[in-house]
Homo-oligomer: A and B are copies of this chain.
């Protein structure tokens, strides 16, 4: 029988990888459908709001990668113990998404002059501002990004990190020891380790 869940995305990690980490963490079978970039113009008009990843399940189609990650976080029990803890986890996840969007605004800018003008504020101010605070949170939270235990916020950050570093052209967490330790601990989870070893190769 085909898996119940089908995840459709570009042949890269990027926005789909937090979802793939959660699916693998929980041992949930899924079809990891990766389309060729040359087919995107044909596919785009059929996507809700023109974006991927999408998730198909039971004849229904969902969109928005963070919403999908939260859905599977509940399934694999990487959520908080109460609504306030879930608020803290959601806040960190949205903060990581804010950082991603600020980096993307630089990386994907087509006007070279505008891109160059964004470089120094991004690398000298924005990225250190976020990473210093995230590093301090991990230090204060027993090695985790929220509520003192492993949650989907940790998997979300580590899964997205390669894409963030790809857009920046550097290992952005190298100077943040608590984030380095968090990355190591997530990548040592057996189900995650196994997935990272077997997943298709990709730059981002």
Give me the interface of A with B, judged by CB distance under 8 Å: 48-50, 55, 57, 60, 62-64, 66-68, 70-71, 74-75, 83-84, 86-88, 90-91, 94-95, 98, 101, 105, 111, 114, 129-130, 133
Q: How far is the CA of A129 from the CA of B111 in the complex (A)?
A: 24
Q: How far is the CA of A83 from the CA of B68 in the complex (A)?
A: 10
- Would you call B64 and A94 a contact (CB within 8 A)? yes
A67 to chain B, nearest CB (A): 4
- Would you call A74 and B83 a contact (CB within 8 A)? yes
Given B67, B90, B130, which contacts A87 in the complex, CB threshold below 8 Å? B67
A60 / chain B contacts, CB cutoff of 8 Å: 84
- Would you call A68 and B87 a contact (CB within 8 A)? yes
Known: A66-B94, A75-B83. 8 other contacts (CB 8 A): A49-B130, A49-B133, A55-B87, A60-B84, A63-B95, A67-B87, A70-B86, A71-B90
Given B67, B88, B91, B129, which contacts A94 in the complex, CB threshold below 8 Å? B67
- Would you call B74 and A62 a contact (CB within 8 A)? no
A133 / chain B contacts, CB cutoff of 8 Å: 48-49
A111 / chain B contacts, CB cutoff of 8 Å: 114
- Would you call B66 and A87 a contact (CB within 8 A)? no
Copies in the complex: 2
Closest Cβ neighbor of A129 among chain B residues: B50
Given B57, B63, B90, which contacts A67 in the complex, CB threshold below 8 Å? B90
- Would you call A95 and B50 a contact (CB within 8 A)? no
Closest Cβ neighbor of A101 among chain B residues: B101
- Would you call A91 and B114 a contact (CB within 8 A)? no
Most buried by B among A83, A94, A114, A133: A94
A83 and B71 in contact, given A49-B130, A66-B90 (Cβ under 8 angstroms): yes
Q: How far is the CA of A84 from the CA of B130 in the complex (A)?
A: 32
A158 to chain B, nearest CB (A): 19
- Would you call A63 and B49 a contact (CB within 8 A)? no
Q: How far is the CA of A71 from the CA of B83 in the complex (A)?
A: 6
